[in-house]
Amino acid sequence: MSAEPAFVMPGRESSKMVRYLLGASAAGGADAARLARDLRLPGWILQRDDMMISPDYALRLWELAEQALEVPDLAITFAERYQPGELDLYDYLFTTAPTLRTGFDISSRYLYLLTTNARLQVEAETDREVTYSYQYLAADGRGADLALQLSVAIFCARARAGTGQPVMPVRIAFRQRAPRSHRAFSEAFGTAVVDFDAPATIFTFRRRDLALPMLGADPALARILARYAATLPPPPELTWRQHFRLLLTEALDDGGTSLNAMARRMTVSPRTLQRQLAEQGATWRSELDAARRERADQLKDGDPASLAYRLGYSNARSARRAARRWGLDDEQRALPGDCWRE
């Protein structure tokens, strides 16, 4: 088997963002269930908000929502519906900070709670102003344009809500192409200086505004939240093989172990997935068999039918045949009854 290449998975994004976008789409009158189906969104993404998933889901969802709603300046409309707290821990780390500047610093430090596919950082500072840049590491197209608009709009909305003051940015600039009208952007951001076709997406605040105290400033709670956030370090960099096996384990948990189901989790076609496995010197059958064997080693109890289900088999007889092939029997495993015997 060939050595695994030094390939690092692209950035990941919290499933919270997909759920937020579906909620905003529904509030605008779209059929969220249909959007999820058109997106081929696995059900487990909607059931858990602590998953880091491919950013392709959110980027594609933006495009589908824009087509469904046919609303001009969709990202600005979605930002207007944002309520502080919708982003959970990430929001509360911001609102409990002592000042707006500290809140932005914390937002930059813990951005990985929402996405590892973006960077928020100070781009430039003067005696009067501080300019922040917000960039995606691996994203383009219409979905990325809308996602950037929403991100900047939410940062500005958080500044106003957090301080309780009409804090407005001095200027905004986007990398994307200019729309026909800037009016919605100027009204949303409170500044007439909104540029497009810029080298980077940036937003600038006055230093005096960044020094404003936060309404929810709470030093004790802020320390508690920061300690908790520190226990949630950025997801480790994974090789393609590690990423695949992680999702395959999740598929076993959910009972969706077919090639087609796994390809959907990887957001590729079945043929592409088979090709990628071949490049790793593996096959779908060999990887699935290895994952089942590892799961079988971990199981300690259960009737034959439930064990077969937990291993992704359609019936107990198939599971028993696999157990014999792996050399597992009751002498090797402390299982109750005769789970692995005919």
Q: CATH number of the domain that 63 lies in?
A: 3.90.1520.10
Give one DSSP letter per residue of 240-291, joined into a string.
HHHHHHHHHHHHHHHT--SHHHHHHHTTS-HHHHHHHHHHTT--HHHHHHHH
Is 151 found in the same domain as 206? Answer: yes
Q: Give the residue with greater pLDDT, 322 vs 54.
A: 54
Give how many domains the chain has, as a whole number.
2
Lowest mean pLDDT among 36-40, 121-125, 131-135, 235-239: 235-239
Written in H, E and C, the secondary structure of 67-114 is HHHCCCCHHHHHHHCCCCCCCCHHHHHHHCCCEHHHHHHHHHHCHHHC
Q: How many CA atoms lie within 13 A of 57 on its CB side?
A: 29
Is 316 found in the same domain as 199? Answer: no
Residues 335 and 254: their CA atoms lie apart, in Å, by 23
* Bridge-based pairing state of the strands 202-206 and 194-195: unpaired
Is 224 found in the same domain as 244? Answer: no
Is 280 found in the same domain as 225? Answer: no
pLDDT > 70? residue 54: yes
Q: Give the residue with greater pLDDT, 184 vs 126.
A: 126
Residues 162 and 97: their CA atoms lie apart, in Å, by 9
Of the candidates 339, 262, 263, 256, the residue with the CA atom closest to the CA atom of residue 296: 339
Percent above pLDDT 70 for the chain: 77
Note whether 266 and 248 are within 8 A (CB).
no
Q: Give the residue with greater pLDDT, 305 vs 233.
A: 233
pLDDT > 50? residue 26: yes
Amino acid at 127: D
Strand partners, 204: 131, 171
pLDDT > 60? residue 212: yes
Helices 284-298, 316-326: inter-axial angle, 10-degree rounding: 90
Section 170-198 average pLDDT: 87
Q: Give the residue with greater pLDDT, 143 vs 323.
A: 143
Q: Is residue 341 assigned to a domain?
A: no
Q: Indicate the DSSP class of residue 193.
A: -
Which pLDDT value is given to residue 272?
Answer: 85
Show which of 199, 230, 261 is a domain's final residue: 230
Note whether 195 and 173 are within 8 A (CB).
yes
Q: Is residue 108 assigned to a domain?
A: yes
Q: Which two tokens stand for residue 120?
A: 């928020």
Is 291 found in the same domain as 248? Answer: yes
> Could you identify the residue written with the tokens 């006055």?
206
Is 246 found in the same domain as 155? Answer: no
Note whether 77 and 32 are within 8 A (CB).
no
Which pLDDT value is given to residue 192?
Answer: 79
Section 272-285 average pLDDT: 87
pLDDT in tens, 122-132: 999 999 999 99
Q: Is residue 7 assigned to a domain?
A: no
Show which of 230, 260, 289 is a domain's final residue: 230
CA dihedral 163, 164, 168, 169 (to 10 degrees): 20
Mean pLDDT of the chain: 81
Give one DSSP letter per residue of 291-340, joined into a string.
HHHHHHHH-----HHHHHHHTT-SSHHHHHHHHHHHT--TTTS--STTTT
Is 219 found in the same domain as 90? Answer: yes
Residues 214 and 165: their CA atoms lie apart, in Å, by 10
Is 303 found in the same domain as 183? Answer: no
Section 142-164 average pLDDT: 93
Q: How many residues does the chain have?
A: 342
Is 156 found in the same domain as 200? Answer: yes
pLDDT in tens, 67-124: 999 988 899 999 988 888 888 999 999 999 999 999 999 999 999 999 988 899 999 9
Domain housing 143: 13-230
Residues 2 and 338: their CA atoms lie apart, in Å, by 39
Note whether 95 and 159 are within 8 A (CB).
no
pLDDT in tens, 187-202: 888 887 899 999 889 9
Is 222 found in the same domain as 151? Answer: yes
Is 175 found in the same domain as 78? Answer: yes
CATH number of the structural domain spanning residue 245: 1.10.10
Lowest mean pLDDT among 26-30, 108-112, 293-297: 293-297
Section 41-58 average pLDDT: 74
Of the candidates 210, 170, 166, 167, the residue with the CA atom closest to the CA atom of residue 194: 170
